[in-house]
Amino acid sequence: MKQLIYCKGVWHSWIKVGSNLGLWRADGAVEVLEARSDVLFHWDDHFERLGRSCRGYKNLDLSLLPSEEEILAKTQSLLRKESLKEAIVHILVTPGKSTDLKKAEGWPELIIDVRSLNRPSSIPPLKLVTKNARRYFPECKLTAGYGYVGRLQAEAEACGFDSFLYWDEYDGILEGPYENFFVVTNSGWLCTPSINVLKGVTRKILLDLAKKHKVFESVDEVPRIRKGFLYECREAFLSSTTKGAAAIGEINGYHFNVGKDSKVEKLQELFLEYRENYYKARGA
């Protein structure tokens, strides 16, 4: 693992988090993306979303941080030093240090973390449960939005589930703790929630691939997916940076089709091919 931190115009190769509000108040914005060699997967999309997450917060002033080009160069330098075949990159922006651990001193900090990505050869179908909870400001990838994941995950695992889905009585099933949510209806319609969710980079790639290759009868973003709608669906999956399209086997006791003949399996194959071609075209 290698890290760099930027604050007050200087890059450091070590981190002292003693009074950083990112630690004490889970205050900040984060992006996570994968890399091969020094090629970052969809860097532009991730950096653009990082900027959107920071906007509107006076303590996350991007004008006090390096340019996108400099941040990219520093990230690529870390990747080359580590000589990792595949890596996972975390980029965190916090309000920085605070004397009283409440109010920022006015100098945001940016942290780049690079470590080896140990991708599983396969992901067994997921067994999920819905939780009556949601992330605030879901369109932004804020660190505070992930503060409840550990507690909700522990509750789900204690009941025999792999993970959980955020659910709201009005908006329906929203997303996973780190993933977007999709279903495939009995008629072959692929749909995913479009309101009050974080619209992931992988989510967009999968939607584009599904439309281009006509894997489904139709592909749509819908306002909401009710629990009862699951009984009209034959497949479901989660999408994320590291998972691609990961099949869901069960939600709240309702079972879905999984396996080699499924539409999800076909979409995952298309995603893996797309990712390989993306890296190959950029020399990785």
**60-77 confidence digits (pLDDT tens):** 988 899 999 999 999 999
Q: Is the pLDDT of residue 17 over 90?
A: no
**Average predicted confidence (pLDDT) for the chain:** 93
Question: What is the secondary structure of the chain as a DSSP string?
Answer: -EEEEEETTEEESS---TTBHHHHS--SEEEEEEEETTEETTHHHHHHHHHHHHTT-TTS-GGGS--HHHHHHHHHHHHHHHT-SEEEEEEEEE--B-SSSSS--S--EEEEEEEE----S--PPEEEEEEEB--SSTTS-BGGGGTTHHHHHHHHHHTT-SEEEEEETTTEEEE-SSSEEEEEETT-EEEEE-SSS---HHHHHHHHHHHHHT-SSEEEEES-B-GGGGGGEEEEEEEETTTEEEEEEEETTEE---STTSHHHHHHHHHHHHHHHHHHHTT-
**Mean pLDDT in residue range 15-24:** 81
**Mean pLDDT in residue range 256-279:** 96
Which pLDDT band holds residue 79 (cuts at 50, 70, 90)? very high
**What is the per-residue pLDDT for 132?**
96
**What is the per-residue pLDDT for 196?**
95
Q: Is the pLDDT of residue 207 over 70?
A: yes
Indicate the pTM of the whole model.
0.94
Domains in the chain, please, with CATH? 2-116 (3.30.470.10), 126-279 (3.20.10.10)
